[in-house]
């Protein structure tokens, strides 16, 4: 019977990865417990053994690109133990019967991830707008310009106008960068909803002299006193936290808040196919209860509420964005290492670079949707 190490060697060989090889994407294993962890826990075991310092890789991003491009998921499923298959089945059933993105559960994301401290994110993200979503790199030479170009395209796709004062509802404000950009460059008023205390504090500070109102509350409470109140609804990097059971409700809320002929703009990480959950390691350590929608999930949820006007996939730009974030994180780590320690460093490095590899391989995407409520009365002109 083959050992755990031999099984892992055979699997990795299919992706042109060697154990203790000399290429940048080869893995250097320091503790053989790594192999049992991988076979018992799958991606969770792979990530946790890396956090433990049991293995290393010079180019984690390329390691994941090769694994995902080789489509090893099916091979991994074949070697999982029965107990793990049972656990995976239970997790799938939980996603079907429980609302993992209930209002109370959604607060866990803010507490674990977004409330790490604004100073931490200031040293990783772009300096001007602190965008924690994919930038647009077609003409950009650096992260700051990529994020400015992303925001500019979001405003143009949402058809914000300098000639008409529009009211915009933003569901999930992040650090307030969209509100700042839109209010400065377009004649609009922004009302944003966010449950992260750290992000709301930053948003209120940078937007204190602008027509931007940031409310610390769950997005689902936005419909209170807002019936047909807004000209636009914008959601950038928030659908990943909405959850499959809530997509339809999200569209109902947007429809309720929008005026007739209003526009809904959605920018979200997306999956190639519909599923109930997300990667077990990411769910445990980075985004509790996260769920990536497929394009079909979003379009089905909008049925009966909206007409789809435009769709674009810019997923490969997220690879560049994540690598830029990692470069900033690595450069500024010395000022945080006493606060967060080595295990956090390895966790965060693994998170950023594994996601970069996932986007590079095309395993996950970045979708931008434009929907209209009612008849716009003319052909929507897309932005390219």
Catalytic site positions: 355
Other Cβ atoms within 10 Å of 94 Cβ, number? 12
Q: What is the DSSP string of 73-128?
A: HHHHHHHS-HHHHHHHHHHHHHHHHS-TT-HHHHHHHIIIIITS-HHHHHTTS-TT
Distance separating alpha carbons of residues 91 and 44, to the nearest angstrom = 13
Burial grade of 311 (CB within 10 A; 0-12, 13-18, 19 or more) = middle
Give the containing element (helix H, strand E) for 184: helix 177-185
Distance separating alpha carbons of residues 251 and 170, to the nearest angstrom = 14
Name the residue with tokens 């769920």: 291
Judge contact between 61 and 356, C-beta under 8 A. yes
CA 255, distance to chain mean position in Å, is: 24
Name the residue with tokens 């594994």: 354
Judge contact between 42 and 49, C-beta under 8 A. no
Alpha carbon distances (Å) from 185 to 34, 161, 174, 209, 370: 52, 9, 19, 14, 20
């Amino acid at each position: 019977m083959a050992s755990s190490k031999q099984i892992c060697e055979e699997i990795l060989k299919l992706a042109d990865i060697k154990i203790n090889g000399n290429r940048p994407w080869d893995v250097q294993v320091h503790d053989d417990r790594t192999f049992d962890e991988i076979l018992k826990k799958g991606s969770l075991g792979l990530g946790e053994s890396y956090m433990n310092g049991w293995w290393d890789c010079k180019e984690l991003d390329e390691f994941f690109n090769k694994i995902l491009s080789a489509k090893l998921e099916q091979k991994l499923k074949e070697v999982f133990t029965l107990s793990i298959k049972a656990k995976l089945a239970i997790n799938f059933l939980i996603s079907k019967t429980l609302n993992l993105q209930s209002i109370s559960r959604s607060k866990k994301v803010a507490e674990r991830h977004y409330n790490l401290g604004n100073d931490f994110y200031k040293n990783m993200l772009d300096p001007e707008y602190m965008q924690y979503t994919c930038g647009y790199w077609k003409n950009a030479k650096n992260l700051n310009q990529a994020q400015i170009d992303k925001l500019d395209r979001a405003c143009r796709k949402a058809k914000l106008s300098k000639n008409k004062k529009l009211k915009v509802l933003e569901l999930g404000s992040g650090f307030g960068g969209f509100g700042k950009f839109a209010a400065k460059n377009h004649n609009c008023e922004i009302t944003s909803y966010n449950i992260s205390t750290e992000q709301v504090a930053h948003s209120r500070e940078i937007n204190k002299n602008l027509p931007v109102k940031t409310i610390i509350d769950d997005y689902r409470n936005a419909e209170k006193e807002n019936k047909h109140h807004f000209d636009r609804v914008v959601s950038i990097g928030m659908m990943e936290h909405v959850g499959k059971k809530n997509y339809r409700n999200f569209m109902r809320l947007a429809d309720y808040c929008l005026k007739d002929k209003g526009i809904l703009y959605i920018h979200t990480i997306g999956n190639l196919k519909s599923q109930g959950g997300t990667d077990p390691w990411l769910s445990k350590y980075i985004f509790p209860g996260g769920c990536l929608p497929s394009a079909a999930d979003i379009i089905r949820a909008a049925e009966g509420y909206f007409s789809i006007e435009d769709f674009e996939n810019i997923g490969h730009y997220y690879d560049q964005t994540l690598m830029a974030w990692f470069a900033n994180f690595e450069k500024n780590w010395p000022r945080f290492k006493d606060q967060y320690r080595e295990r956090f460093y390895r966790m965060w490095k693994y998170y950023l670079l594994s996601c970069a590899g996932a986007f590079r391989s095309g395993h996950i995407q970045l979708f931008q949707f434009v929907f209209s409520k009612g008849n716009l009365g003319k052909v929507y002109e897309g932005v390219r």
